[in-house]
Amino acid sequence: MTKPEALQLHHLPDDVLHRILSRLTFRESSRMGLLSRKWQKLWRSCCPKLVFTRATMFKPGNKTIRRTRTNFARRVNSLLRQLCAPPTLNKFVVKFGLRRKHTCHVNRWVGFCSESRARHITFDFTPGVKGIFRGLADEKYIFHLHVFSVPDRSPAHIKSLHLSYVWLNTATTGFTGFANLKKLTLHKVSFLNDFQHLMLSECTALEWLSISCSSFTELTLCKPLRRLRYLSLHYCYMEKVELEAPNLTSVDLTNRPIPLALSESLKVMEANIKLLHKSVLYGDNLDYICTKLPAALPHVQKLSITSTLYIYDELR
């Protein structure tokens, strides 16, 4: 009498194996894909998101592997090679302190991201330095947006884009804008050209815009952002904000006192304003708070203001 063959994990139905893989962490599921061709095929088919961070690429407490930028890049490349035919992705995330010298690796990842038609994209190369330090310009990777507008595909699939610690190049030939982009986050970004008119004006579906610690002096658009609901601007040291956004409901601003031209934004219900320091244009911040700010936000219902008032100077 022959002994019945023991049931192996890979003998289970594919839908059961899909459930098993979906409950594993990214690192665990990718390692399962190395076991056999069947597991690799399953991993490819049930991998709606790729998240490459320090936590997903390095095991906590492992002292034998140096968590260097080079090792990180090699591991990402190794995993992407398993996905020789890029799947359709819901999310693609790279978060590690890479530099311009890693351009050849990052270019490959951006191309893969475009080919896989990822809907939610993050490239965050912010170094470990905390605070509002903008970083050294010659260290930043140059992000060319035209990669998403090649002849055989458009960037219409992109719903959200998060870029940190990069140079953003919007003037390259062929870039057609993000027609369906709803959320844009830019942190410690430098701009090689006119970001507002070459990119932002073409994001007509934008609902959520956050820009922080980035280098541009004013936000003025020639086209309205009719769907924009949330606007966040922090530590950009701007001199002017002029925006036509009729459906804007929330404003979050950290800056010097500046002219706010939001006359068409009659639906703004909440505003959080942090004034950094005394302005030559408006004198004491108190004058700006009492006169200019109410005129700029006439319909706001909830207003939070943080500011330093130079009362001693006025009394003296």
pLDDT per residue as tens digits for the range 207-252 = 999 999 987 888 888 889 999 999 999 998 888 999 999 999 999 9
8 A C-beta contact, residue 278 and residue 258? no
Regions of the chain with pLDDT less than 50 = 1, 282, 312-316
Q: What architecture (CATH level 2) is domain 12-47? A: Up-down Bundle (1.20)
- Domains in the chain: boundaries: 12-47, 49-56+67-206, 217-316
pLDDT of residue 89: 84
pLDDT per residue as tens digits for the range 242-263 = 999 999 999 999 998 888 998 7
| DSSP H helices in 46-179 | 54-57, 69-82, 103-115
Calpha distance 141→168 (Å, rounded): 9
DSSP letters along 92-129, please? EEEES---GGGHHHHHHHHHHHHHTT-SEEEEE---S-
Tally Cβ neighbours within 10 Å of residue 22: 11
Calpha distance 97→126 (Å, rounded): 5
